[in-house]
Amino acid sequence: MGVIASAPAKIILFGEHFVVYGEPAIVLAIDKRAYAKADLRLDKRIFLRSLNMNVAGYFEDENFKVEEGNPKEAKMKLEPLKCAVEKVLEISSEKVGLNIEVNSTVPVAAGLGSSAAVAAAVVAAVGALLNVKLSKEDVFRMAYDAEKIMHGTPSGIDPAISTFGGAMLFQIDTGFKPLDVKTDIPIVIGNTGVERSTRSQVAKVRSLRDRYPQIVDPMMRAAREIVLRAIEALKDGDLKTTGELMDINHALLYGLGVSDESLEWLINAARKAGALGAKLTGAGGGGCMIALANKDSIRNVLEAVQRAGGNAFLAKKTNEGVRIEPV
């Protein structure tokens, strides 16, 4: 019998880009999940398949043999998952072959933490299959190691929120702190479909700050104040204030030059349709936007974002992080 595990995607509600400079950010796990199924094989190969990315192949010792997709691309996309599997095998001391199949309901390369959710789900599934007792901290650490292969030096936000779920405050120097948010947070997520490079967007902000430190540094302080106010608003269940703060946060990000026409189009459509607030989420320059809405207006906002050309869907905060699914 195989084991299926899943882990949630995420949105950055407040603080992206500013987090690079030591300011806080608020991250939410959302109810879109990535799934990983693990089965034992009779040989010693690690076979990996991603249904979303249409790639498959197996690793045997240091060799890779592609079975679906472009060999170079398949190896690059599957290598982080192989790392996640090997981290669990090291602890188990088992010398076994595995079949791993991953399937995600999370759009890939859209800033929603798809790769981290997949990595966390793979670690949990393999751990459960081999009867390895893994704490959530273990799952986080292993998923984070897999993310480093994909992204170089990631902040750790994505594997943390995929593992633990809920809402978190993240700051580079102090790490993660869970936020107690009881209220429902109904969100419309609109995917522009425009691919962007996080690295180039971060470089753009750094260049702007180098040229205009007296202007950009006060924007950083304003971003911190927004996060601090937002923590209180979320704890109080005050969605109106949360929405207003989202709009102000977006104005700062627009000022830094990380929004673009595709995002502005969707954000303006959401606001006109009655959203309490709307902003880009993640790196910007394409990718996704998010809009906060009341239950009575959320359908209107969703349809408006779709009419404006966004691939839009509803999401809400989930408190459940990585979990084993009933088979």
User: Using DSSP, how many helices (H) and how many strands (E) does the chain show?
Assistant: 9, 13
The verdict on whether 236 is a catalytic residue reads no
Sequence-distant contacts of 13-16: CB under 8 A, at least 24 apart? 13/167, 13/185, 13/230, 13/246, 13/281, 13/290, 14/223, 14/226, 14/227, 14/230, 14/245, 14/246, 14/249, 15/170, 15/223, 15/226, 15/227, 15/249, 16/253, 16/280, 16/281, 16/282, 16/283, 16/284
Do 6 and 35 contact (CB within 8 A), yes or no? yes
Structure tokens at 6: 């899943």
Among the listed residues 34, 124, 48, the one whose alpha carbon sits nearest the alpha carbon of residue 88: 124
* Catalytic residue (choose from 138, 158, 247, 296): 158
DSSP-assigned letter for residue 36: E
Distance (Å, rounded) from C-alpha 16 to C-alpha 252? 11
Do 73 and 277 contact (CB within 8 A), yes or no? no
SS3 percent helix, strand, coil of the chain, rounded to 5, is 45, 30, 30
Q: Which residues are catalytic?
A: 158
